[in-house]
Amino acid sequence: MTHSHIPIKHLLKQMKIYSYKRINRDLRPDWVTNVINDVAELFEPLAGLGRVGFDCQLSDDGWVVGLYLGSTETIGGKEDGIVRHTNYEIDLQQLIIRFDRLDEFCFGAFPSPVGHECHQARSFVTLAGTIGEETLRLQIFSTPPNDAGPGLRQLPDGRCEPV
């Protein structure tokens, strides 16, 4: 068996692929994905383009979804590497009507760091309730999380590309 190494290499490759798929498996139910896509359509950039980002987690109380408009990084030129947040608006009434029952609707603003934390200023709207029979906490953030990369890259010719 001069080619016995081929099955072993193939097995190792399959294990690597399986591991990658397992880590990156989307465990969200379809209804959560539909809500994310539906709410993403409500973001209206006030100038230029925007790309909606999200974070989604299952908690003891149901699904928690946070959405935000990603920032734009300038590539090339004198402003190379500068990352800017995108100003936007969202119709809150359109968020409300997506819930069958709304238990919480509030606004949180954190314009300055609390204590010794050096986080950027951030505000958000929270809606919590049910959609169908499912419990959801939806948060719309004014800026992306600190650890989120840019959503778009603006090229020297003015075009924007998704990251």
Higher pLDDT, 3 or 149: 149
DSSP track, 47-92? SS---EEEEEEEETTEEEEEEEEPPEEE-SSTTTT-EEPPPEE--H
**How many distinct helices (H) and strands (E) make up the chain?**
3, 11
User: Which pLDDT tens digit goes with each residue over 39-60?
Assistant: 999 999 998 888 999 999 999 9
Confidence of residue 1 (pLDDT cuts 50, 70, 90): very low
User: Which pLDDT tens digit goes with each residue over 45-102?
Assistant: 998 888 999 999 999 999 999 999 988 888 888 888 888 888 999 999 999 999 999 9
CA angle, corner 19, sides to 7 and 55, nearest 5?
160
> Mean pLDDT, the chain, as a whole number?
84
- Residue 16: the pLDDT is 66
Counting residues of the chain whose pLDDT is more than 90, the rounded percentage is 47
